[in-house]
């Protein structure tokens, strides 16, 4: 048989990871075992191990792909918007669209992963924590620009603003899915805008 090119191997690995992201968003990263994913994709366990090496390597690749999907859906839509309050407002809208459009079948991937790994040690805990810190840092940086421009009150702590936005988005994802609250994301968007001193435009 002819050997597969490096591009073919990379493409097949990417397709496997993307399928695993969708599955993990519903069942959690711990639910994505080599056997479970091999069965879902109609592959052999040995073939899957050949692509990743072991379960943890696979889980870390899935998490990285999920973070990239979030980055595409939210950050890359707004990265060219004026820093400060204009970009924070755009982030809120892109974030809500991301949650409303089911970028992940199981809801907010990082929220699910945060709950899974917040009390565990290890590489996956560290990867999830690093992703959350990075996003909070992005939000905090724009909040600081907004405060320095007096678009936010000068006594507003940028770290508080970042944490409020993150907590509201996570809570909205849970309320929408766990509780079946169809209006949750509308309320969350309004609350996020209030946290930024913006009017409720519903």
Comparing CA positions, the residue from 193, 67, 33, 190 lying closest to residue 138 is: 67
CA distances from 63 to 30, 113, 130, 145, 153 (A): 11, 8, 11, 30, 36
pLDDT digits (tens, 9 = 90+) for 88-108: 999 999 999 999 998 998 889
Range among 1-10, 56-65, 98-107, 146-155 with highest mean pLDDT value: 146-155
Render 105-158 in DSSP notation, one character per residue.
TTS-HHHHHHHHHTT--SHHHHHHHHHHHHHHHHHHHHHHHHHHTTSS-TT--H
The two three-digit tokens of residue 111, written as one number: 């929220």
Q: What pLDDT score does 3 carry?
A: 38
Q: Note the Cα 198 to chain centre separation in Å.
A: 24
Please tell me which residue, 186 or 12, carries the higher pLDDT value: 186
| Mean predicted lDDT score pLDDT of the chain | 89
Q: What pLDDT score does 12 carry?
A: 74
Q: What pLDDT score does 78 carry?
A: 98
Buried b (16+ CB within 10 A) or exposed e, 52-61: beebeebbbb
- The count of residues in the chain is 202
Q: Is the pLDDT of residue 125 over 80?
A: yes
Domains of the chain: 6-195 (1.10.357.10)
Comparing CA positions, the residue from 180, 202, 181, 184 lying closest to residue 193 is: 202
CA distance 139 to 195: 12
Q: Is the pLDDT of residue 6 over 70?
A: no
Q: What pLDDT score does 70 carry?
A: 96
Q: What pLDDT score does 10 carry?
A: 39
pTM here is 0.87
CA distance 79 to 9: 32
Q: Note the Cα 50 to chain centre separation in Å.
A: 27
Mean pLDDT along residues 43-65: 85
Q: What pLDDT score does 9 carry?
A: 36
């Amino acid at each position: 048989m002819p050997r597969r090119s490096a591009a073919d191997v990379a493409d097949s690995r990417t397709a496997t990871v993307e399928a695993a992201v969708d599955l993990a968003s519903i069942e959690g990263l711990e639910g994505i075992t080599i056997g479970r994913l091999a069965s879902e994709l109609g592959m052999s366990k040995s073939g899957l191990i050949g692509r990743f090496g072991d379960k943890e390597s696979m889980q870390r690749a899935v998490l990285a792909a999920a973070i990239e999907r979030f980055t595409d859906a939210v950050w890359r839509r707004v990265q060219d918007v004026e820093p400060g309050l204009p970009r924070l407002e755009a982030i809120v809208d892109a974030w809500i669209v991301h949650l409303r459009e089911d970028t992940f079948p199981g809801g907010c991937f990082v929220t699910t992963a945060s709950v899974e790994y917040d009390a565990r040690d290890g590489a996956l805990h560290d990867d999830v924590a690093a992703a959350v810190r990075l996003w909070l840092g992005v939000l905090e940086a724009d909040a600081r620009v907004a405060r320095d421009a007096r678009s936010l009150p000068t006594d507003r702590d940028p770290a508080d603003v970042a944490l409020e936005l993150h907590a509201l988005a996570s809570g909205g994802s849970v309320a929408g899915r766990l509780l079946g609250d169809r209006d949750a994301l509308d309320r969350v968007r309004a609350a996020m805008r209030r946290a930024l001193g913006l009017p409720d435009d519903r």
